[in-house]
Amino acid sequence: MNQYNYERKRWWIAVAAVAMQLCFGTVYAWSIFKKPMMAANGWSETQTQTAFMIYCTVFPLCVAIGGTLIDRIRPRIVGLAGGLMFGTGIILAGFANHLENLFLLYIVYGIIGAVGGGLGYVTPVATLIRWFPDKRGLVTGLAVMGYGAGSFIMGTFAPRIIINHGIATTFYLWGGLSIFIVLIAVMALENPPTEWIPSGFQPATGSISNVANSFTFTQAIKAPQWWLLWLIFLLTTSAGIGLISQLAPIAQEKMIAARAGAITAQQIQAIVIVSGTVVAAGAIFNGIGRLAWASLSDIIGRKSVFLLLFGTQAIGYMLLPQVTHILIFSVMACYLLACYGGILASMPAFAADDFGPAHIGKIYGMLFTACAVGGFFGPFLLAYIKEMTDSFTIALYIESGILMAGLLLTIVYRKPQLNMRSLS
């Protein structure tokens, strides 16, 4: 295959990667389902939220497993397994709601769906990093933009489907469509030839762009920088997923608080639909932020982008509880989710720059285990404090402090030296 055909092929792979991530990213619309499930099944806030917390814990662990598998076998196989398990878990979640069985929901959504989601998420990311050493930030941003934008689709359509056809049917449609799209898209995925590089590509100073100079996984985890990136990932995930998990309920509370007197059933339905629109808008900006911030990181550097993201998020979470108008709240939430998406999208390129592409599946996959801790802690913090205080205010202040800690870790971060490989 000539150079032109390789160039064209890699962009088709990028299109397939975005399509896959759109499906897997629909889980970010979880908050839309919370109150309807609580009302229909009699489940409490924490009981319902636990399903999402389990997903957010299992998912990153399976990203790590998937990253290890991709370094050994073809990405098409890993992605196919991920798509089938994800869609099946979502379909069975509809069955769990039909039976009003909370424990079954934990198993099928929180575990089966999360295993599939983790395997599916890392497959296009690791594949694109190998095909685009010249545009790492852009393409990883593009891929995970699809993941962030997936909940836009759910936020736009799911509230109406839930109202008109019920929760179970919504899950059935969601899972079936996901399987169909992933099965088609995954057929395009494959790794580039070992010695292939893009035409005219010149590696940036200080980045590791070829296989020969890459850290092994063992060498990477012996470097303190790897652990700093792990902590940074943990902190940003705690704040971001915490907000995502409660975005619709927070928006609904602000709209209810702004209304005087009793609220009719028709008004409640309108509030639910508007909160779904807020989730959809947040998903758009989550996706845009992933592409925009990751692309900017190609220009000004990963660390500079992380400093901007952590600093502005810390301020935003501190101000968010004071906002009473739904429009202002929506604008701020959209920006915060764009920042969260920006860190997630830039992290694969950050890791590839500093540790090389040869073992990036396992190196980045294991970094992603930080999201297992943050993905459990963030949603739990907001749900628990909400139940204890009947308010999200204290939890949002705590998240602001967590983001400030992430800013400090980013300030002290220094690029690992190539001679660190001798540590192994």
Higher pLDDT, 101 or 32: 101
User: pLDDT band for position 132 (50/70/90)?
Assistant: confident
Residues 6 or more apart whose CB falls under 8 angstroms from that of 382 comprise 242, 243, 245, 246, 392, 395, 396
Report the alpha-carbon angle 87-92-94, nearest 5.
105
Of 286, 15, 289, nearest to 131 by C-alpha is 15
Which position has the token pair 């709601």?
A: 97
Q: How many CA atoms lie within 13 A of 282 on its CB side?
A: 36
Beta strands in 262-329 (DSSP E): none
Query: Do 157 and 176 meet the contact criterion of CB atoms below 8 Å apart?
Result: no
- Give the tokens for residue 200: 């005219």
pTM above 0.85, yes or no: no
| End-to-end C-alpha distance for the chain, whole angstroms | 38
User: pLDDT band for position 70 (50/70/90)?
Assistant: confident
The residue type found at 346 is S
pLDDT over threshold 70, residue 328: yes
Q: What is the pLDDT of residues 336-352, one digit of tens each?
A: 999 998 888 888 888 88
Query: Do 232 and 39 meet the contact criterion of CB atoms below 8 Å apart?
Result: no
Residues 6 or more apart whose CB falls under 8 angstroms from that of 254 comprise 323, 324, 325, 326, 329
For the chain, give the longest Cα–Cα distance: 70
Q: How far apart are CA 24 and CA 394, in angstroms?
A: 31
pLDDT for position 422 = 47
Of 420, 6, 390, 1, nearest to 197 by C-alpha is 6
Of 159, 367, 422, nearest to 276 by C-alpha is 159
User: pLDDT band for position 424 (50/70/90)?
Assistant: very low
Measured in residues, the chain has a length of 424
Q: What is the pLDDT of residues 215-243, one digit of tens each?
A: 888 888 899 999 999 999 999 989 998 89
In whole numbers, what is the pLDDT of the chain averaged over residues? 85
- For domain 8-190+215-423, give the fold: Growth Hormone; Chain: A; (1.20.1250)
- What's the CA dihedral at 416, 419, 422, 424 to 10 degrees? 10
- Give the tokens for residue 226: 């790897």
